[in-house]
Amino acid sequence: MKLYGYFRSSAAYRVRIALNLKGLNADLLSIHLVKNGGEQHSAAYRQLNSSQLVPTWVEDENECSFILTQSLSILEYLEEKFTDIPLLPLDLQQRALIRAFSQSIACDIHPLNNLRVLQFLKHQYEISDEQKMQWYRHWVDIGFSSLEKQLQHSNGQFCFGELPTFADCCLIPQVYNALRFNIDLSAYPKIQSIYQHCNTLIAFQNAAPEQQADAV
């Protein structure tokens, strides 16, 4: 089992957390998103991931490869295949709320603020660094305000209850990313508290960007 990722990619970071929480081992292979114009655009990688994004999950079995893209679909696949340590509860409504929270990050925040979008904005509209930060902050502020509301019944340990779920796999990388962009999180006490708690756990610590072999 192989995971193609990049140390700073939030989407790859989500999958690394899930693998660690589930106690699964995979070879972590680096696709450098910046070097040489971005290795994700190479012909070889495009064979694996036609969207030219990370992560990509690959299983080689009996000379047959199973190739899967999209971090949330990788999480769902791991959840269905490796059931010993679940990252979703059994209750249908709770599962749904956890998926909605995860998608609030993966559909509403991250797609607007990832590398390819910031690069396109800069090159196409020649916006300043300050305008780029304004764009970044705008979508994080709207997104984090919604996440904080969705966490109003959280006890502050994990996003939903006493165990980590998809929601925590998605939240921690997004907060890490926001801090890298110097976003002020004081308006989001639940988010901050969950971020701090998760980062006391080895599964989250070992998944962090600075712990990866390709970290700069």
Residues interacting with a second copy, by CB under 8 A? 50-53, 66, 68-70, 72-74, 76-77, 80-81, 92-93, 95-97, 99-100, 102-104, 106-108, 110-112, 117, 120, 124-125, 127, 131, 134-135, 138, 142-143, 145-146, 149-150
How many angstroms separate the CA atoms of 3 and 145, rounded? 32
Q: Which residue has the tokens 């994990």?
A: 158
Q: How far is the CB of 202 from a second copy (least distance, A)?
A: 27
The one-letter amino acid code at 126 reads E
Q: How far is the CB of 95 from a second copy (least distance, A)?
A: 7
Closest to a second copy by CB, 28 vs 48, is: 48
Closest to a second copy by CB, 69 vs 193, is: 69
Closest to a second copy by CB, 103 vs 199, is: 103
Q: How far is the CB of 59 from a second copy (least distance, A)?
A: 9
The one-letter amino acid code at 182 reads N
- Residues 124-149 as b/e (b if ≥16 CB within 10 A, e otherwise) read eeeeeeeebeebbbebbbebbeebbe
Closest to a second copy by CB, 107 vs 215, is: 107
The one-letter amino acid code at 31 reads I
How many angstroms separate the CA atoms of 135 and 114, rounded? 11
